Amino acid sequence: MDDRISGLVKKTLKCQCPFRLIGRLIDDGWRVTVIDDTHNHYATENLESYAYARRLTEDERSFLEDEYHRSTTPRKMLKLLKERFPGNLTRSEDIYNFQKAMRRRRPKNMGTLQCRVHIWRNIDKFSMPSLKGEGKRGHFYGWWKKLYESRTLEEYTKNEKDLKEKMGPRLDKVYKYLQKEWLFPYKEKFMSFWVDQHLNYCNYTTNIVEAEHSLLKSELQGRCTFQRIIQCVNDILLGQDTEIKGQLEESRIYRAGKHNYPCLKDLLCVVSVTALDIMVDEIKRLKNEIGKDLRKCGCKVWISCGLPCACRLAAYRE
């Protein structure tokens, strides 16, 4: 199609097909004039070889983005896409190209998640002399927590500015330390806005893993045989398995009053209490912070946990 008034006529280049037409945009739509209606090839039977026919619609792209954030494999993504959108012509190579494009959108230096507990320990140790006697230690942690829990880039920028203003000239040394040692080089590795663009199930620390590692080391004091090591690892895993089963069973029999929302009634005693708690927090956030402006949602819970976020719960509530 050519919407120019004059100029060279477009034609296919793959097999020098003589078929030609001109399309012009006029007031009441398009006017197409066929110059040559002959072809030097058979009519196309399958459109899968044409990238134009395989282009994703907005709904299909949104569906694939959700599956990508759930870490779905390419083969399964293609299968689910075909089931959800009958008639879709997407091929496996298109899924791989889509994943490459999504990876290019990842923030630079994502690397390994930085533990917020260890970061705060270092910050607290450095800032303690400056905050000693001023009664600001608790306030300082509140300012810092508000900053690293920022859900959007605009919110992060605002909270960083507020942090600088609240710290003032007397704590300028501490603020410069935060900027140089943590915010500038590592903010993409522990700030909510960046780490919640990936599936993390609300894991922001490594202290739980390190606690289990410490427990294993305490069990392996002295010289141990390979059989003894396997036995210790097995005992720890059995303990974890018992704990998980206990929590799941509590979710089947436990009902909390704070979960009694109409949009959650079908999930009571079906999904975990932790998941319900997260969705309840999103409902409260929808009521107290977001209101009708669903653009403020940020979709953190949807992307990082695979659970309905505030904007999606709004639709369920209606």
Domain ranges, ordered by start, for the chain: 1-43, 58-104, 116-195, 207-253, 257-317
Give bridge partners of residue 26 from the DSSP assignment. Answer: 29
pLDDT of residue 134: 53
Q: What is the pTM of this model?
A: 0.53
Instruction: List C-alpha distances in Å: 53 to 83, 89, 248.
Output: 18, 7, 46
pLDDT of residue 105: 60
pLDDT of residue 1: 41
- Report whether pLDDT(11) > 50: no
pLDDT tens-digit readout, 22-35: 888 888 788 888 88
Residue 2's pLDDT band (boundaries 50, 70, 90)? very low
Range in 23-27, 133-137, 197-201, 248-252 the model is least confident about: 133-137
Task: Specify the DSSP class assigned to residue 113.
Answer: P
- Report whether pLDDT(13) > 80: no
pLDDT of residue 108: 46
What is residue 3's three-state secondary structure?
Answer: coil
Residue 161's pLDDT band (boundaries 50, 70, 90)? very high
Percent of the chain residues topping a pLDDT of 70: 87
Burial of 13 (0-12, 13-18, 19+ CB in 10 A): exposed
> Could you give the CA distance from residue 2 to residue 40 in angstroms, rounded to a whole number?
22
> Could you give the CA distance from residue 204 to residue 19 in angstroms, rounded to a whole number?
60
Percent of the chain residues topping a pLDDT of 90: 5
Contacts of 140-145 with C-beta under 8 Å, sequence gap 24+, read 140/167, 140/171, 140/174, 143/167, 144/120, 144/178
Q: Is the dihedral of CA 265, 269, 271, 274 positive or negative?
A: positive
Average pLDDT over residues 200-213: 73
Give residue 109's region: left, alpha or beta (phi > 0; psi -120 to 50): left
Q: Which of 281, 273, 226 is closest to 254 using CA atoms?
A: 273
